[in-house]
């Protein structure tokens, strides 16, 4: 059985077909007195070159389908029938060669993502019974502790529990810069430990790791066909049946009705059948889509099918969530103003002393601001949390209150001047006040906290408009002033604020009435809007289950600059598919007309037909390479007043006032 499997290897059969084709040609010329030698060699040529075509054609016929494999086999047999066995053998040889090259090209696109699995080691050091032992990765269970040395590939998803290091996550996210990792940081399978020796607690089994899920997603995506591909495959059997009927007509009508010579008529009909076969047409779309999906996955962009890649090329409106997408989603202190004799240092120390007893994003921002200045928070006692309002507690011999202006105004504190200006800038204002002996309050300082806009947000939106996006909208549940500030800083065209999740769905559908809409969010609270959009895109989803399940396209990294690349890839894929279709159709029409009205040698028709098939495969493989904005796209818009020439945009602009 193993010997038979080896003998039926496509490459081996191709080699036998080529050798016997040359041998048969030589025997036909040199051993004309022994025709059995040439006949035997040509028979081996036909058997080896047509084996897989006969099998595929027979399986298709059992399903009631006529395909190109059957056309090629019939054309080769027809050539042999009219005394041109060499031409028929050449057809089978080139058809087999074309199939081998096609499969190799398509396998290359599939292996582009499967190669990631080879980055994962087979064995790891795991701590069992107080000793470090070597174990197979598939035997490791969640909760076990694994040691990772410098230069090791990380085999499983987990959480760093001892040590510090930096990790190269480019295999998942496409980001070249290593990511610093401290205790509590997540680690992902398939990434590379660049620095220190660390210990990790496994959080997922090997089969459930982020890397394994990515590979599964891409394999599923490559099996989901684009609309164009599905249409061509449905049309293939009708077209192939039409070619067979037309070939019969070309044989019978001239021979029976006009008395044409049978052999010449039959030969011309076989040539027409070969050049009219839709091999290049059928392979033109899967070659492009498989390459695009595989190449994008290696750069941290996951398309869940060719249909979504196809839809990306038609998007005209892009809607962004604000928090965590256009902004970092991490509030920070952007304004410090003291009152009385307090310094900024003392104000931060007092506020941080109270916020050490709180657990909310504003508290984290104040504590991080103090840590950035290497300040030690003042110890606070008897701290009470007033939910939704603020904190109060004793620091030293003073009673302090920290909270919203409305909360402190209710306690009798006069609101400071400039409060409205800070709020108009999108800042959340926190006031610190001290309590006098008579119970009155005195203001000690003001802190302004805002969500930081991503550094590459403006350049990303600029790049999207250069790609042909007509409008950029922002959908947020934040108040209008904060939304307006982000919109002005990034170049957003349409702002929708104070939205609930169901409101975002409504806005996406309204936008969809004037064009195809892509929605970009974090894949969790934006899930309804992602599902309502023409294309849903989740950003920064490495290790996030919900994002991978919800969106049509997943950007594994937190880097917005991957977004223009995803849109550019969709448009580039569409262009290459159109190129392939036009080229394949052109070859069929031109060669068909020449063969029909003028006549061409069958070998020449075979070479042109199979050569066009290989060319469309090679053209599709270009999508394995990264996609960049071309010159026309870079010059498509006037210079952006906000873009500073970051890589996302692809152009260096001078700042405009």
3-state secondary structure 113-156: HHHHHHHCCCEEEEEECCEEEEEEHHHCCCCCEEEECCCCECCC
How far is Cα 128 from Cα 643, in angstroms, rounded to an integer? 54
What is the predicted pLDDT for the residue at 316?
A: 94
Look at strands 517-521 and 317-321 and give their pairing. Answer: parallel
Largest Cα span, the chain: 127
3-state secondary structure 419-432: HHHHHHCCCEEEEE
Are 121 and 155 in contact by the 8 Å Cβ rule? The answer is: yes
Query: pLDDT at residue 155 above 90?
Result: no
Residue with tokens 């499983």: 156
Average pLDDT (43-48) is 89
Are 558 and 539 in contact by the 8 Å Cβ rule? The answer is: yes
What is the predicted pLDDT for the residue at 102?
A: 66
What the block records as the tokens of 541 is 């989803």
Higher pLDDT, 463 or 274: 463
Instruction: With cut-offs at 50, 70 and 90, classify the pLDDT of residue 255.
Output: confident
Residue 18: how many CB atoms within 10 A of its CB? Answer: 19
Are 78 and 605 in contact by the 8 Å Cβ rule? The answer is: no
For Cα atoms 43, 48, 53, give the angle at the middle one, nearest 5 degrees.
110
- Least confident range from 6-10, 88-92, 352-356, 601-605: namely 6-10
Residue 502: how many CB atoms within 10 A of its CB? Answer: 9
- Is residue 299 packed enough to be buried (19+ CB in 10 Å), middle (13-18) or exposed (0-12)? buried
How far is Cα 443 from Cα 425, in angstroms, rounded to an integer? 22
Three-state secondary-structure class, residue 522? coil
How far is Cα 637 from Cα 465, in angstroms, rounded to an integer? 7
What the block records as the tokens of 429 is 């204002």
Are 566 and 301 in contact by the 8 Å Cβ rule? The answer is: yes
How far is Cα 244 from Cα 596, in angstroms, rounded to an integer? 15
Average pLDDT (217-234) is 65
Residue 632: how many CB atoms within 10 A of its CB? Answer: 8
Torsion of CA 176, 182, 187, 191, to 10 degrees: 30
Instruction: Report how far apart, in Å, the C-alpha atoms of 305 and of each of 18, 171, 380 are.
Output: 38, 20, 56
Are 567 and 312 in contact by the 8 Å Cβ rule? The answer is: yes
Query: pLDDT at residue 224 above 70?
Result: no
Average pLDDT (167-172) is 76
The crossing angle, in degrees rounded to 10, of helices 85-114 and 68-81 is 160
For Cα atoms 590, 594, 597, give the angle at the middle one, nearest 5 degrees.
135
What the block records as the tokens of 607 is 């070479």
DSSP assignment of 552-618 equals: SEEE-SS-TTHHHHHHHHHHHHHHHHHHHHHHHHHHHHHHHHHHHHT---HHHHHHHHHHHHHHHHH
Please state, for a pLDDT cut of 70, what percent of the chain lies above it: 85
Residues shown for the chain: 657
- What is the tens place of the pLDDT at every residue in 496-515? 988 877 888 899 999 999 99
Are 46 and 80 in contact by the 8 Å Cβ rule? The answer is: yes
- For the chain, helix, strand, coil in percent to 5 are 55, 20, 30
Q: Catalytic annotation on 321?
A: yes
What the block records as the tokens of 160 is 């760093």
- What is the tens place of the pLDDT at every residue in 369-419? 898 888 888 888 888 877 557 888 888 788 888 888 888 888 888 888 888
Are 353 and 375 in contact by the 8 Å Cβ rule? The answer is: no
Query: pLDDT at residue 558 above 90?
Result: no
Average pLDDT (571-576) is 92
Sign of CA dihedral 102, 107, 110, 116: negative
Three-state secondary-structure class, residue 45? helix
- What phi and psi values does residue 441 have, to the nearest 5 degrees? -110, 145
- What is the tens place of the pLDDT at every residue in 521-536? 876 667 788 888 899 8
Task: Enumerate the β-bridge partners of residue 536.
Answer: 519
Marked catalytic residue, from 321, 451, 456, 478: 321
- Is residue 10 packed enough to be buried (19+ CB in 10 Å), middle (13-18) or exposed (0-12)? middle
How far is Cα 352 from Cα 368, in angstroms, rounded to an integer? 9
Query: pLDDT at residue 312 above 60?
Result: yes
How far is Cα 288 from Cα 623, in angstroms, rounded to an integer? 7
What is the predicted pLDDT for the residue at 639?
A: 45
How far is Cα 460 from Cα 479, in angstroms, rounded to an integer? 24
Query: pLDDT at residue 203 above 70?
Result: yes
Higher pLDDT, 215 or 269: 269
How far is Cα 91 from Cα 605, in angstroms, rounded to an integer? 9
What is the predicted pLDDT for the residue at 642?
A: 52
How does the average pLDDT of the chain come out, rounded?
80
Query: pLDDT at residue 567 above 60?
Result: yes
Are 353 and 376 in contact by the 8 Å Cβ rule? The answer is: no
Query: pLDDT at residue 358 above 50?
Result: yes
Helices H, strands E: what count in the chain? 23, 22
How far is Cα 612 from Cα 604, in angstroms, rounded to an integer? 12
Average pLDDT (97-112) is 66
Residue with tokens 């260096």: 652
- What phi and psi values does residue 465 have, to the nearest 5 degrees? -70, -35
What is the predicted pLDDT for the residue at 119?
A: 63
Higher pLDDT, 455 or 101: 455
Strands (E), 210-314: 301-303
- Least confident range from 69-78, 302-311, 334-343: namely 69-78
Three-state secondary-structure class, residue 476? coil
For Cα atoms 573, 578, 582, give the angle at the middle one, nearest 5 degrees.
150
What is the predicted pLDDT for the residue at 654?
A: 34
For Cα atoms 466, 470, 475, give the angle at the middle one, nearest 5 degrees.
110
Nearest Cα neighbor of 459 from 632, 647, 626 is 647
What is the predicted pLDDT for the residue at 647?
A: 45
Query: pLDDT at residue 538 above 90?
Result: no
Sheet architecture: strand order including 186-187: 131-136, 123-128, 145-148, 198-202, 158-162, 186-187
What the block records as the tokens of 551 is 């969106």
How far is Cα 498 from Cα 591, in angstroms, rounded to an integer? 62
Q: What is the DSSP letter of 334?
A: E
Sign of CA dihedral 335, 341, 342, 344: positive
Average pLDDT (66-89) is 78
Instruction: With cut-offs at 50, 70 and 90, classify the pLDDT of residue 221.
Output: low
In the chain, what are the domains? 121-154+157-203 (2.70.150.10), 299-327+454-568 (3.40.50.1000), 330-452 (3.40.1110.10)
């Amino acid at each position: 059985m193993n010997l038979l499997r080896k003998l039926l290897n496509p490459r081996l059969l191709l080699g036998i077909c080529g050798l016997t084709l040359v041998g048969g040609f030589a025997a036909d010329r040199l051993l004309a007195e022994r025709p059995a030698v040439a006949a035997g060699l040509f028979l081996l040529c036909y058997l080896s070159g047509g084996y897989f075509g006969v099998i595929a054609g027979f399986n298709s016929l059992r399903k009631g389908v006529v395909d190109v494999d059957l056309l090629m086999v019939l054309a080769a047999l027809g050539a042999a029938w009219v005394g041109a066995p060499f031409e028929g053998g050449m057809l089978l040889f080139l058809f087999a060669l074309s199939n081998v090259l096609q499969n190799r090209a398509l396998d290359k696109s599939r292996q582009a993502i499967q190669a990631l699995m080879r980055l994962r080691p087979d064995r790891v050091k795991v701590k069992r019974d107080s000793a470090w032992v070597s174990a197979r990765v598939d035997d490791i269970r969640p909760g076990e502790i694994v040691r990772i040395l410098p230069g090791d590939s990380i085999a499983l998803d987990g959480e760093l529990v001892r040590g510090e290091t930096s990790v190269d996550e480019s295999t998942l996210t496409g980001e070249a810069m290593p990511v610093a990792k401290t205790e509590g940081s997540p680690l992902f399978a398939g990434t590379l430990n660049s620095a220190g020796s660390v210990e990790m607690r496994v959080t997922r089994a090997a089969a459930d790791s982020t890397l394994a899920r990515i590979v599964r997603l891409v394999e599923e995506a490559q099996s989901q066909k684009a609309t164009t591909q599905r249409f061509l495959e449905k049309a293939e059997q009708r077209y192939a049946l039409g070619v067979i009927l037309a070939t019969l007509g070309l044989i019978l009508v001239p021979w029976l009705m006009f008395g044409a010579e049978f052999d010449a008529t039959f030969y011309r009909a076989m040539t027409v059948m070969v050049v009219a076969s839709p091999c290049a047409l059928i392979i033109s779309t899967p070659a492009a889509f498989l390459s695009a999906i595989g190449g994008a996955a290696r750069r941290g962009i996951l398309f869940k099918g060719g249909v979504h890649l196809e839809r990306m090329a038609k998007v005209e409106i892009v809607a962004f969530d604000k928090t965590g997408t256009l902004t970092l989603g991490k509030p920070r202190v952007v304004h410090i103003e003291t009152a009385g004799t307090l310094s900024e240092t003392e104000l931060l120390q007092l506020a941080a002393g109270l916020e050490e007893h709180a657990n909310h994003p504003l508290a984290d921002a104040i504590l991080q601001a103090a840590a950035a200045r290497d300040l030690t928070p003042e110890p606070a006692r008897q701290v009470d949390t007033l939910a939704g309002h603020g904190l109060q507690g004793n620091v030293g011999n003073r009673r302090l209150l920290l909270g919203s202006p409305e909360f402190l105004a209710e306690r009798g504190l006069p609101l400071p001047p400039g409060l409205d200006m800070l709020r108009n800038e999108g800042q959340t204002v926190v006031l610190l006040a001290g309590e006098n002996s008579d119970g009155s309050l005195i203001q000690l300082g003001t802190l302004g906290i805002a969500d930081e806009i991503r550094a590459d947000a403006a350049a990303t939106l600029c790049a999207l408009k250069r790609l042909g996006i007509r409008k950029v909208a922002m959908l947020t549940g934040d108040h209008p002033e904060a939304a307006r500030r982000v919109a002005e800083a990034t170049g957003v065209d349409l702002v929708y604020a104070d939205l609930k999740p169901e409101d975002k769905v409504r806005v996406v559908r309204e936008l969809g009435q004037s064009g195809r809409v892509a929605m970009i969010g974090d894949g969790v609270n934006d899930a309804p809007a992602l599902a309502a959009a023409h294309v849903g895109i989740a950003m920064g989803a490495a290790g996030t289950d919900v994002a991978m399940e919800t969106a049509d396209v997943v950007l594994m990294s937190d880097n917005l600059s991957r977004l223009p690349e995803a849109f550019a890839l969709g448009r580039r894929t569409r262009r290459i598919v159109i190129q392939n279709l036009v080229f394949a159709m052109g070859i069929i029409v031109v060669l068909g007309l020449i063969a029909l009205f003028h006549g061409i040698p069958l070998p020449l028709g075979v070479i042109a037909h199979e050569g066009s098939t290989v060319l469309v495969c090679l053209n599709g493989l270009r999508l394995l390479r990264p996609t960049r904005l071309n010159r026309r796209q870079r010059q498509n818009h006037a210079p952006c007043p906000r873009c500073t020439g970051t890589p996302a945009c692809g152009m260096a602009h001078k700042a405009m006032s």
